[in-house]
Amino acid sequence: MASYADDLALAHLLADTADSISMARFRALDLRVEAKPDLTPVSDADTAVEKAIRGTLSRARPRDGVLGEEFGMSTPPAGQGNRHWVIDPIDGTKNFIRGVPVWGTLIALMEGERPVAGLVSAPALGRRWWGAVGHGAFAGRHQRAANKISVSAVRKLGDASFCYASLPAWEEAGRLEPMLGIMRDAWRSRAYGDFYGYMLLAEGALDVMVEPELSLWDVAALIPIVTEAGGAFTDLDGQRAPGDGSAIATNGHLHSEILGRLTRATA
């Protein structure tokens, strides 16, 4: 099995740089925010973080490609190989620009179509999560102050904490009614949104996290963390994510039930 220890160490260095940039701009009075063509916001912190990460990767991993939310795909001079990094410089930009501390930088390494290593750094929360195939999943303030994490053992929806992003997105996807049914049957439901629900799942603090629409940079870093923590991660078709741009992440025990209930919505 391949070792990704060096890649995880590099991801932490990238996150150190990202954190220093983003925290300096968080709640800054002169923060610049613009609307992208899809009308989603982008701040000067988003672009600065991605540029800095790309600069380090060009020196440290010159043979690897890079896909980022703000600047797209770049290939190394020798051409695209099997490995590429996927970057979301600030996941939760709307939180960031409003001063809500739930946002983070997502860094993933992919081999072909498979995410093999991922790191999420949420500096305003003072916490990171990371994992890689064969290495397990961990959380803590930094790499030297970390604990191994694992998903919960909850087996019944009636005992489960259920998390989602937003109900309007599920309505647009034509799956609002089964979503409401799951929420009624679950022990508890909350909309934490963005990366945070997935990380709480990986820690065992909740049991299910679902989203109907995602981009690769939203999800690539999350998959190795959740799966190495013992969880299951597929799209709405039951295919292993990144898949079609949707996500069902669970502790594994509840996956078939959640997938079945959401799939039957459009059957």
Q: Would you kindly state where each structural domain of the chain is located, as residue ranges?
A: 4-148, 157-263
Report whether 91 belongs to an annotated binding site.
yes
Q: Which CATH architecture has domain 4-148?
A: 2-Layer Sandwich (3.30)
Q: What is the pLDDT of residues 207-229, one digit of tens each?
A: 999 999 999 999 999 999 999 99
How many angstroms separate the CA atoms of 224 and 178, rounded?
Answer: 28
Whole-Å CA distances, 71 to 12, 68, 168, 174, 195: 21, 6, 28, 32, 21
User: Which pLDDT value is given to residue 40?
Assistant: 86
Q: Is the pLDDT of residue 104 over 70?
A: yes
Report whether 88 belongs to an annotated binding site.
yes
How many angstroms separate the CA atoms of 20 and 39, rounded?
Answer: 27
- Quick one: which H or E segment has residue 253? none
How many angstroms separate the CA atoms of 84 and 63, rounded?
Answer: 9
pLDDT band at 78 (very low <50, low <70, confident <90, very high): low
User: Which pLDDT value is given to residue 60?
Assistant: 95
User: Which pLDDT value is given to residue 2?
Assistant: 73
**Which is more confidently placed, 104 or 79?**
104
User: Which pLDDT value is given to residue 87?
Assistant: 98
Report whether 69 belongs to an annotated binding site.
yes
Task: Count CB neighbours of 221 within 10 A.
Answer: 32
User: Which pLDDT value is given to residue 267?
Assistant: 43
Residue whose C-alpha is closest to residue 139's, from 264, 198, 248, 131: 131
Q: Is the pLDDT of residue 190 over 60?
A: yes
Q: What is the pLDDT of residues 17-45, one digit of tens each?
A: 999 999 999 999 999 999 888 778 999 99
Mean pLDDT (the chain, rounded): 93
Residue whose C-alpha is closest to residue 186's, from 166, 165, 160, 211: 160
Q: Which CATH architecture has domain 157-263?
A: 3-Layer(aba) Sandwich (3.40)
Task: Say what the pTM is.
Answer: 0.95
Task: Count CB neighbours of 6 within 10 A.
Answer: 11
Q: Is the pLDDT of residue 80 over 90?
A: no
User: Which pLDDT value is given to residue 193?
Assistant: 82
